[in-house]
Amino acid sequence: MPVCPVVHLNGSFLPLTEARISPLDRGFLFAHAAYEVTAVYGGRFVDLAGHIARLTRTLDGIAIPNPHDPAGWEALHRELIVRNDLAEGLVYLEVTGGAYDARDFAGPDTFTPTVFAYADARPLIGAAARDGIKAVFINDTRWKRRDMKTTQLLSQALAYRTAKAQGADTALMVEDGFVTEAASANAWIVTPAGEIITRDLSPAILPGITRVGVMALRGKGAFTITERAFTPDEVAGAAEVFTTSAGAMIAPVTHVDGRPVGQGLPGPVTRTLQRLYYEAMGADVATAAPWTLERA
């Protein structure tokens, strides 16, 4: 889907075609930047406070001054969707170390950040959520501080290209014999006994905001969720596999390395989680995702 026509850049709202960022910006030269992607559904943000809190942690971790307090970030986001009349889609926000008159690794004592944001109109509940996606295993070559959401995304971009070349949609990243995450999402399995497993939080994975939302559904669905690392063999033997992210929300994984997961279809636990999550964000499930009711 095309990016919406009005963007935010360093305190101003302007046409995308007029937005200009210096080639000496540290985000461009060093990937010294934090970013967040927040879903919008029915004109309302999904878990915006969680995204702002994570942005704050990332900025602190990579030595970029935070140019706004939470209220200021919220106002920026809301103004952007109003100016673009966005009812459903995503808001992308990036904060970089800014530009100065040199390419210097250390940079100045204090950075002057560049702030850029745009809106992207797209359906959030679509074919991937309904039909599922395919994945392949690849080695995880990312930097070690994955708990900070930065723009150091080359490994993820190459993972998607590898998956695409093999006829898949995403990759499950493997390090030291365990799955860390999907290419740009948290990874989950459901055992044949119905236990849901996702990796425990550490610098090895991103603390996903949608992950938090799924965790909050435990009471409603009477789920057992265990936080621990799991192996590719456990993925191969799982009854269900799914991923969570702001953009795809809850995406069933139906095949891994060309082999079906369970029956090769989205499973009942994933369907129930989807239904509960969509209801929590205000969706009319019978209209937006009637297929979640078939196995509920």
Whole-number CA gyration radius for the chain:
19
pLDDT of residue 59: 98
Going by C-alpha positions, the residue among 13, 91, 92 that lies closest to residue 45 is 91
Q: Which amino acid is at 185?
A: A
- Long-range own/partner contacts, residues 153-162 (CB < 8 A, 24 or more apart): 153/31, 153/184, 156/183, 156/184, 159/183, 160/184, 162/136, 162/138
**CATH 3.30.470.10 region(s) of the chain?**
6-121
Percent helix, strand, coil in the chain (nearest 5)? 30, 30, 40
Contact yes or no for 123/130 (Cβ under 8 A) = no
Count of CB atoms within 10 A of residue 167's CB?
10
Confirm or reject CATH 3.40.190.10 for domain 127-292, answering yes or no. no
Going by C-alpha positions, the residue among 54, 52, 46, 81 that lies closest to residue 280 is 46
Count of CB atoms within 10 A of residue 56's CB?
16
What order of strands is seen across the sheet that includes strand 6-9? 12-15, 6-9, 114-121, 88-96, 33-41, 44-45
Separation of alpha carbons 50 and 210, rounded Å:
9
Residue 226 has pLDDT above 70, yes or no: yes
Contact yes or no for 186/251 (Cβ under 8 A) = no
What's the full length of the chain, in residues?
296
pLDDT of residue 109: 93
Separation of alpha carbons 82 and 92, rounded Å:
15
pLDDT digits (tens, 9 = 90+) for 81-136: 999 999 999 999 999 999 999 999 999 999 999 999 999 999 999 999 999 999 99
Contact yes or no for 171/163 (Cβ under 8 A) = yes
pTM > 0.85: yes
**CATH 3.20.10.10 region(s) of the chain?**
127-292
pLDDT digits (tens, 9 = 90+) for 26-75: 999 999 999 999 999 999 999 999 999 999 999 999 999 999 999 999 99
Q: Give the CATH class of 6-121.
A: alpha beta
Separation of alpha carbons 261 and 267, rounded Å:
9
Cα-Cα-Cα-Cα dihedral sign, residues 258, 262, 267, 269 = negative
Separation of alpha carbons 169 and 175, rounded Å:
20
DSSP classification of residue 200? P
Cα-Cα-Cα-Cα dihedral sign, residues 120, 124, 130, 132 = positive
pLDDT of residue 1: 57
Residue 295 has pLDDT above 80, yes or no: no
Instruction: Compute the mean pLDDT over every residue in the chain, rounded to the nearest whole number.
Output: 96
On the 0-12 / 13-18 / 19+ scale of CB atoms within 10 A, 276 is buried
